[in-house]
Structure 1
Amino acid sequence: MVPSVRQIMQDHVQQWERDGRVEIFEEARLLGLDLAIFAITGIDLEGKVDIEWFKEQVSIFLRGLYGLPIVLPGSEIAKAQAAKKRILDTLMPLMKERHDAFHAQWEAAGKDADKIVSNMVESGERISVTKAQMLGIHSTGGDTLRDSALSALQTVMAAGDTTRFALFNTWALLAQLPAIQDKVFEEQKKVIAEFGPEIDFRALSNMPYLDAIFKEALRILPPTAGGFRKLTRDATISGVTLPAGTIVWYHALLLQILDPVLWDGDTSYDIPPYMDWKNNLEGAFQPERWLGDEAKRPRSFYVFGWGSHLCVGMNLVQMEVKLLLTLVMRRFRLELEVPDMMRRLAAQFPYVVPAKGTDGMRLVPRVQGLPWS
């Protein structure tokens, strides 16, 4: 997927280069949307759908995801439900051939998901994100054409939002850390010396410092508040027993604050120093935590879920963030137009939202930038 993701990102970055700046919250949304629709779903919309109309429908749908589930006329959720119907009506005829082929495969395997996965692995078939989603929705009884279209919309929803907030949170922190940016630039020199200037999968797989930056940024500012789980058996925690069937909310940020590798148990401060990005970002943001001795690495990293609920797109979004940072930081230094943007947030839950008009970032050309290819 690297070539298609790179081309979409390169188009965006070249526009930012012409402007000399980028509004990172809005651009993270637009870029996440383009990547989700055109690179991840693999559905060919060109010449078949008004692309701008389709993107607007998806945007309306995404805006209605967060809020009170009360469907009143004119409310965001009511608009989202109407957009959802229009999107599914558009996707179903475009997905019919793909759905029919997968459904035949599903029937031939006796509706056995494990057997289908084994067959894919044995045949060397590429297992796309979209096919994984179709398999998942078939496994829960969703085997109609509409269900397959819904699985594609779920892919767009998950990929678009995950990419959006992972990109924004990483940008927002790095733009305040010039010394970290210089270390990224030095790593890029080494990557080019070893693998050449082409930004391909092999090069992206050999950027340990960027890997560490990605993890450290999302340790401090996870793009999600966590998730809900239903207990399948009784669970006793600190002497309190929660019966099976209880709905439990795991809080990603709280789990990372209480990471035993990092927390010394001191409760005399509201926020531990390693999480205090507002008052001590240079001290809190230490990518080196993720390098070297594994025993000293943070153990709690619930940004993308855990176990059987681990996000299917976790490695994809990490690749996306690294690719974008590679494109941008080979040529530019990053500077926030409003240096205290992160102190003037409009919201911090369920995700970080900057105050209107504060998210501008300058792209300052490096004297001797590095090539992309």
Structure 2
Amino acid sequence: MILLVLFTLVIAYAVNFLYKKWKVYRLLLDNFKTPPRHPIFGTLTIFPKTAPEIFKTLLSLIDKYGKNVVLTRPILDAQIIISDAKDVEAILTNPNTKKARKASVYQTLEPWLGTGLLTSYGEKWFTRRKILTPSFHFSILDGFVDVMSKQSDILMKHLKSMAGKGEVDIYPIVNAFALDIICETAMGVTVNAQADPNSEYVTSVKKMSLAFQERLRHPLGKSGLYNLTSKGQYQKTLTTILHNFTNKVIGERRDQLLSNTKVDKGSHMNFLDILLHASVGGKPLTNADIREEVDTFLFEGHDTTASGIAFTLYLLSRHTDVQEKVYQELKKVFGGKDEMEITKKKLIDLEYLEMVIKESLRILPPVPGIGRQLMEDTLIGGIKVPPGVNLLLSIYAMQHDPDYYPNPEKFDPERFSSQSDNKRTFAYIPFSAGGRNCIGQKFALLDLKTVIAKVIMNFKLLPGPEVILQGDLILKSSNGIRIRLEQR
């Protein structure tokens, strides 16, 4: 009898759950355009198997069906792909940022990142954001510029050994450079990724990035069942290695502070030091709390920065007129390449280079899309969409939309001149926007300016093959980002 009652309750719960999903499913299908659907697999059957073809297909669906498109998956699952700037603005500028939550796909990052600033929401996100904002104050960034300049000099020596020797895949090279900077500014440690790319920590970071890409494309990727697969176990092993490293650094630094080793609260504090000085409700953050944020900063600032640098150099290699204008501006600000003293003030003076970087981030944004999960009723395209629905805000599609950018495929830095009357608003969001925008965008721009300035002062960039894009969490090229270098 008891088993019958329990069985009846389970069935009733399942029926109620599916009925609620069906109502939302029908609401989306009745009010938004959607491609033809398979009765079981939904729109999944439209997409090819390779990452570049998946990305290309997604963009073609937006072209064909409009700025807001519904895609479906098995068991009444539907999400909206949004590239209408008005709707993106409404979503990102919701004044109640505590009710902004990342889409469910981001939960796949939690085994490594926990619920740090990227994946948390509600009161925890609000408190952490408040703690972390001072980390990017201009006085702190001044100290970070010294690190960026030092690591750029190491990169220049590496590139000089490759100049005049044919095509170079620039991405893994600048990826190691970006990892060196992030580790030194985040944790105050040098991992020597440029000099020793085969160390356990460096290789584990690279492998983890690839492991996440594989998980996103796996049928069980969003499910806990993925952890039972061999690839899930492999990802768990990498997570342990990365956590052990971060835990060791945090523990050693905390011990230094407890033994009264002074840390100046000035420009040379790193991200970890700031977290170790922080408190919530009068209590210091635990080592686990700090690890979440340090690992999040590493993840968000490492691959994205490398993508931004590599794609900007790629575009400059294919537009020699723009490259020459950048070079002339650099000579005006710095003099000769042997006189390059990198300071934040001089980087700010590089106005044309900043326009170039912004245009590069428009054409090839490091983050091609942002996932959100609605926490309250939200108007999208005039339709009230209920909580629980997952959204993908397609940054790439918006920034290539001719409604927002005439001749969008043209690389034209003048779009971002102070005299331009082009009103970009929320059609340009390479760092997201609103209350949950990228907290490290000033850091990233200084990093990009520093390394690109040094590269252009030392080398002429010549084009290699055209990139084949794939849109994972980070925009990548499946055939590398290949250019040729000639010393100036």
TM-score range, shorter chain: 0.7 to 0.9
Q: Which amino acid aligns with 1:200?
A: T
> In structure 2, which of residues 192, 196, 199 is the aligned counterpart of residue 52 of structure 1?
199
| 1:262/1:319 CA distance change after superposition, 3 Å | same
Q: CA deviation at 1:211?
A: 0.6
| 1:197/1:143 CA distance change after superposition, 3 Å | closer
Report whether the alignment pairs 1:74 with 2:197: no
SS of residue paired to 1:304: coil
Distance 1:134 1:154 in 2: 16
Q: Which amino acid aligns with 1:154?
A: T
> In structure 1, which of residues 14, 25, 42 is the aligned counterpart of residue 171 of structure 2?
25
Query: What's the CA shift string for 1:102-132, capped at 9, x where partnerless?
Result: 99xxxxxxxxxxxxxxxxxxx8787754467
| 1:137/1:151 CA distance change after superposition, 3 Å | farther
Q: CA deviation at 1:333?
A: 0.8
Judge which range, 294-303 or 311-320, deviates more: 294-303
| 1:233/1:348 CA distance change after superposition, 3 Å | closer
Distance 1:132 1:309 in 2: 21
CA contact (8 A) 2:365 2:430 kept: yes
Q: Which amino acid aligns with 1:324?
A: V
| 1:307/1:137 CA distance change after superposition, 3 Å | farther
Matches within 5 A, 1:151-166: 151-166=293-308
> In structure 2, which of residues 360, 369, 372 is the aligned counterpart of residue 217 of structure 1?
360
Distance 1:127 1:231 in 2: 37
| 1:346/1:211 CA distance change after superposition, 3 Å | closer
| 1:133/1:162 CA distance change after superposition, 3 Å | farther
Report whether the alignment pairs 1:289 with 2:415: yes
Q: Which amino acid aligns with 1:262?
A: Y
Distance 1:45 1:310 in 2: 29
Q: Which amino acid aligns with 1:361?
A: I
Query: What's the CA shift string for 1:8-47, capped at 9, x where partnerless?
Result: 121112111122163212213222222222333324669x
Judge which range, 284-293 or 86-95, deviates more: 86-95
Q: CA deviation at 1:178?
A: 0.5
Equivalent residue number for residue 87 of structure 1 = 242
CA contact (8 A) 2:151 2:181 kept: yes
Equivalent residue number for residue 317 of structure 2 = 175
How does the TM-score come out when normalised to structure 1?
0.75
Length, aligned pairs only: 320
Distance 1:86 1:147 in 2: 18
Q: CA deviation at 1:157?
A: 1.1
Equivalent residue number for residue 233 of structure 1 = 376
CA contact (8 A) 2:461 2:483 kept: yes
Distance 1:230 1:346 in 2: 26
CA contact (8 A) 1:225 1:351 kept: yes
Larger radius of gyration: 2
SS of residue paired to 1:65: helix
* Fraction of identical pairs, as percent: 20
Equivalent residue number for residue 324 of structure 1 = 451
Distance 1:125 1:349 in 2: 35
Equivalent residue number for residue 63 of structure 1 = 210
CA contact (8 A) 1:259 1:298 kept: no
Unpaired segments of 5 or more residues in structure 1?
A: 104-122, 264-272, 277-283, 367-373
| 1:320/1:79 CA distance change after superposition, 3 Å | same
Equivalent residue number for residue 311 of structure 1 = 438
> In structure 1, which of residues 9, 16, 25 is the aligned counterpart of residue 152 of structure 2?
9
Q: CA deviation at 1:207?
A: 0.3
| 1:228/1:337 CA distance change after superposition, 3 Å | closer
Distance 1:262 1:304 in 2: 18
- The alignment's C-alpha RMSD in Å is 3.4
Judge which range, 147-156 or 303-312, deviates more: 147-156
Q: CA deviation at 1:185?
A: 0.8
Q: CA deviation at 1:295?
A: 3.9
| 1:220/1:142 CA distance change after superposition, 3 Å | farther
Report whether the alignment pairs 1:34 with 2:180: yes
Q: Which amino acid aligns with 1:71?
A: N
CA contact (8 A) 1:62 1:80 kept: no
| 1:131/1:228 CA distance change after superposition, 3 Å | farther
Q: Which amino acid aligns with 2:248?
A: P
| 1:253/1:92 CA distance change after superposition, 3 Å | same
Q: Which amino acid aligns with 1:7?
A: K
Equivalent residue number for residue 108 of structure 1 = none
Q: CA deviation at 1:186?
A: 1.0
Distance 1:6 1:261 in 2: 36
Query: What's the CA shift string for 1:164-188, capped at 9, x where partnerless?
Result: 2111221221110100000001111
CA contact (8 A) 2:272 2:290 kept: no
Q: Which amino acid aligns with 1:242?
A: V
Q: Which amino acid aligns with 2:186?
A: I
How does the TM-score come out when normalised to structure 2?
0.58
| 1:221/1:135 CA distance change after superposition, 3 Å | farther
SS of residue paired to 1:248: strand
| 1:71/1:365 CA distance change after superposition, 3 Å | same
Distance 2:332 2:211 in 1: 45
